[in-house]
Structure 1
């Protein structure tokens, strides 16, 4: 367990890298790549196995965890200075635009498909498919603006709470309100068949931002970890007592997944840091692993991927082997890319021990942000 006074989420100091968040991202990256590989390659006989069905249910936390951590990280990077949100606004906007560009790029269907379909709604629904990266990008733009405009502690808490709760609750109405709108807008807001529309998926982002903002009131270390576990368990208990709703606009489902995600974050904060260190490198390369593995698994621009070339024909062990190999190759390419761009291997200064004076003394190594 993390020692008192140490924390993987030290929210009092601004930092673009929190090892606990990178560890949670790394866990989600592993689940994402293996889940997509199993979806593309696992044979129908094994797909119907009860244990595999149970895994499909658990795998549903992957995308919500990415969004939850993204919102958490935006607030965690600010520190306590009121002006920090304004100082980082330009960087947040550039990051959001990159996410939007890459999100639409990986769904480009190819010129042959474009010529065959013509510029109708069917093609536009493919080109402007609103996926996880776009959802994070737009949420990041809105969140960065909110943090600049809402400067007070309580003001930020109220605004983030309204967004975290209001977006899922308004989802059904928003889908109906944009029913006759152009398909590009319906993909963003929400429509049948859309993957990660803002309503309700942006609720995960702002739930993470709200939790990070509230955790500033607690001492770093196990108090924050226990608070995450307690809040996650409370949400899970609440949803167990309410009627389940698995529809795509379900606020109940958002609360259920947020509870699961907070339990993951709490566990990451409380377990020995060596486990987070193993997963953190994958978390720091999560964007590029996402962009690299999708074309390999599902194809891109008319070129077939593993789903089209191999299909659902493999057993469990071969499929897992392919998934692990794909994860390793994508991570290696991402690392080489960072080295070519001249980035440091692991942002080493954020992992260095930082003594914190307490009654004239200093803590030993472990206070990492």
Structure 2
């Protein structure tokens, strides 16, 4: 995305969603349920708002993906871009599974019990984003204009939302192998099945297509005014949609996964959030480049805070050593500490890259080499 095209409000929304995700994971992992009871006020509201983090991030990702895509004069994607997007999607899926790897050494895999394989196959946000981006890449290859892409994304997102009730009735583990069924069902612990979460990213495509089609000087206003108005319109329809679909949703299903009304509730609130952050970004123009910087390191921030909290298959960290053992005040301090370490690491790496350009490549290569060594080490 060129500097003239860049919408810092979108970078700010992605950054804010990441901060919400970090504080949510940290408090949930470390604070005692006696002090953080999601069944009582105000933590029930906090828990509901946590559920908006992924939809916000996915919608913004869909919008940004459109702006970051440049076609040839014939409307095709450059081959280098296709391979880069394919590699990125597969990298996300690979990192998602690596973080849940069920053994410390490759030759220990033969001794892994079934319940650990089930945990390994669960779908988390990285796998969901990676697989959905493969679908987005497919739509981009099939279309020739951003308008066509927007229409295709809207249709795909709408179909996923409409099929949510039917999907919830299916016993996917009887129809598909466990690694595939985990993408369609939460029965064995998957947190982000394709239905409904892929819909949010697909529905970001028509928004990105629309924003890209209007003059650059009008885009910020569109984010601040038109997007929230669309969110309010959706929210006005939610009661009718939720009650209208209630009778075909399985009683045991999570309504935010299976009822189109509740799925669109989260989508509408995501639009309101993006609009609110657009106003904040307007009030903090000097922070624009910082928002963009942290947005570029979104994967690093996500993986980094999880490693700080939970460790890896090769070492444990605070959430595994002291699970749900802190007071609320201690948990708040932990949130600030995790955020400070993550953001400070980004600033350090960026400063290092400016002085020594290959630094980021060497850090990534070193991380890959360390993982390979740990998997193959004799002890």
- Give yes or no for contact 1:17–1:77 (8 Å, CA) kept in 2: no
Higher helix share: 2
Q: Are 1:252 and 2:272 an aligned pair?
A: no
CA 1:27–1:153: 2 relative to 1, 3 Å:
closer
What is the SS of the residue equivalent to 1:170? helix
1:32-111 matches, cutoff 5 A: 32-48=21-37, 49-78=40-69, 86-87=77-78, 88-111=81-104
In structure 1, the partner of 2:182 is: 187
CA 1:309–1:177: 2 relative to 1, 3 Å:
closer
CA 1:221–1:34: 2 relative to 1, 3 Å:
closer
- Give yes or no for contact 2:31–2:327 (8 Å, CA) kept in 1: yes
CA 1:15–1:203: 2 relative to 1, 3 Å:
farther
Task: Out of 86-95 and 26-35, give the one that drifted further.
Answer: 86-95
CA distance in 2, matches of 1:321, 1:154: 47
In structure 2, the partner of 1:28 is: 17
CA 1:17–1:157: 2 relative to 1, 3 Å:
closer
- Give yes or no for contact 1:110–1:300 (8 Å, CA) kept in 2: no
Specify every segment of 5 or more residues in structure 1 that has no aligned partner in the other structure, as ranges: 1-10, 346-369
Task: Out of 144-153 and 29-38, give the one that drifted further.
Answer: 144-153
CA 1:224–1:21: 2 relative to 1, 3 Å:
closer
- Give yes or no for contact 2:154–2:205 (8 Å, CA) kept in 1: no
Larger RCO (CA under 8 A, 6+ residues apart): 1
CA distance in 2, matches of 1:191, 1:90: 31
TM-score (norm 1): 0.80
Task: Out of 278-287 and 71-80, give the one that drifted further.
Answer: 278-287
Task: Out of 312-321 and 79-88, give the one that drifted further.
Answer: 79-88
In structure 2, the partner of 1:202 is: 198
Report how many aligned residue pairs link the two structures.
334
Deviations 1:294-337 (A, max 9, x none): 13223321643322322223222221111111111122233444
Pairing partner for 1:162 from 155, 159, 182: 155
In structure 2, the partner of 1:3 is: none
Q: Are 1:128 and 2:121 an aligned pair?
A: yes
TM-score (norm 2): 0.78
CA 1:17–1:144: 2 relative to 1, 3 Å:
farther
CA distance in 1, matches of 2:43, 2:106: 34
Pairing partner for 2:295 from 261, 280, 283: 283
1:216-227 matches, cutoff 5 A: 216-218=212-214, 219-227=218-226
In structure 2, the partner of 1:349 is: none
In structure 2, the partner of 1:360 is: none
CA 1:220–1:122: 2 relative to 1, 3 Å:
same
CA distance in 2, matches of 1:311, 1:177: 33
CA 1:157–1:26: 2 relative to 1, 3 Å:
closer
In structure 2, the partner of 1:270 is: 279
Specify every segment of 5 or more residues in structure 2 that has no aligned partner in the other structure, as ranges: 247-253, 360-379
In structure 2, the partner of 1:242 is: 241
In structure 2, the partner of 1:149 is: 142
Pairing partner for 1:305 from 311, 317, 337: 317
CA 1:81–1:240: 2 relative to 1, 3 Å:
farther
CA distance in 2, matches of 1:121, 1:195: 19
- Give yes or no for contact 2:102–2:117 (8 Å, CA) kept in 1: no
CA 1:116–1:284: 2 relative to 1, 3 Å:
closer
What is the SS of the residue equivalent to 1:147? helix
CA 1:80–1:270: 2 relative to 1, 3 Å:
farther
- Give yes or no for contact 1:117–1:123 (8 Å, CA) kept in 2: no
